């Protein structure tokens, strides 16, 4: 009886030892797998496009000066009409043109100005704004402003308040292709990293689409825009 109990105890001990060995094997294998999953590489993919603007906002600012207020308003009205005729002759419609009321200043009413040195008492600044999708037509018309100058109209320069603005409004049309390109370039970088490190590239762990930015290509060509997006992608690596 005692021998049988010894044998049974020995068998139980062997089984327990085998179980512990198997448990340790599975635990170590699982730990290695978990550790392998922790190996990742984070890369960035870039996509850039140069696109032409599809909207132009062109403010035409002109100034007048007179000593008689009535004469000043008559001059503003006459020159406004001349500018409108100029724009219509360059194929801009009334829907594309807006006329702001003139801003009139009485220079003698300004306390910091010596009235004796003021040649013209009243001065006005007027703005006519063109909002159009005909960007090329707007740029061509800008080169013809000398025609208005020949009529005695003083056109302001491209200062901040009267600076022409160019817009690109078709971003949604190119977004999918650019995101795809940024993701593809990110994967190419990740594959190169995996090859250099003797690893294999796995699935995507996380992915973040960057914000799209639209900027002028350069200061000389503001009507050409540069669209840019950077995607950040994290991949798993394995041996």
Residues 40-71 have pLDDT tens digits of 999 999 999 999 999 999 999 999 999 999 99
The pLDDT, as a whole number, for residue 29 is 45
User: What is residue 82's DSSP assignment?
Assistant: H
Q: pTM of this prediction?
A: 0.76
Question: Exposed (0-12), middle (13-18) or buried (19+): which is 201, by Cβ within 10 Å?
Answer: middle
- Tell me the average pLDDT across 81-85: 97
Q: First vs last Cα of the chain: how many Å apart? A: 56
Give me the numbers of helices (H) and strands (E) for the chain, helices first please.
Answer: 5, 10
pLDDT tens, 183-224?
A: 999 999 999 999 998 999 999 999 998 899 999 999 899 999
39-54+168-239 topology per CATH: Translation Initiation Factor IF3 (3.30.110)
Q: What is the pLDDT of residues 123-170, one digit of tens each?
A: 999 999 999 999 999 999 999 999 999 999 999 876 666 789 999 999
For residue 187 the two structure tokens come to 């994967």
108 vs 98: which has the higher pLDDT: 98
Q: Which CATH architecture has domain 55-167?
A: 2-Layer Sandwich (3.30)
The per-residue pLDDT for 239 is: 79
Residue 173: per-residue pLDDT = 96
Question: What proportion of the chain, given as a percentage, has pLDDT over 90?
Answer: 69
Residue 35 has pLDDT above 70, yes or no: no
Q: Tell me what the mean pLDDT of segment 12-35 comes to.
A: 48
Give Dmax (Cα) for the chain.
135
């Amino acid at each position: 009886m005692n021998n049988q109990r010894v044998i049974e105890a020995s068998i139980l001990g062997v089984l327990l030892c085998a179980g512990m060995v198997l448990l340790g094997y599975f635990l170590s294998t699982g730990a290695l797998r978990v550790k392998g999953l922790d190996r990742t590489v984070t890369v960035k993919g870039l996509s850039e496009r140069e696109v032409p603007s599809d909207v132009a906002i062109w403010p035409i600012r002109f100034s007048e000066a007179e000593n008689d207020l009535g004469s000043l308003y008559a001059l503003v009205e006459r020159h406004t009409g001349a500018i409108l005729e100029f724009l219509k002759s360059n194929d801009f419609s009334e829907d594309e043109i807006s006329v702001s009321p003139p801003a009139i200043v009485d220079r003698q009413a300004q306390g910091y100005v010596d009235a004796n040195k003021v040649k013209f008492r009243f001065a006005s600044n007027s703005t006519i704004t063109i909002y159009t999708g005909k960007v090329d037509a707007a740029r061509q018309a800008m080169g013809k402003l000398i025609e208005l100058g020949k009529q005695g109209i003083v056109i302001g320069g491209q200062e901040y308040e009267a600076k022409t603005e160019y817009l690109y409004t078709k971003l949604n049309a190119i977004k999918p292709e650019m995101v795809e390109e940024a993701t593809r370039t990110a994967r190419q970088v990740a594959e190169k990293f995996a090859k250099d490190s003797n690893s294999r590239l796995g699935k995507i762990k996380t992915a973040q689409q960057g914000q799209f930015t639209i900027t002028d290509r350069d200061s000389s060509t503001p009507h050409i825009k540069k669209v840019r997006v950077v995607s950040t992608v994290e991949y798993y690596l394995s041996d």
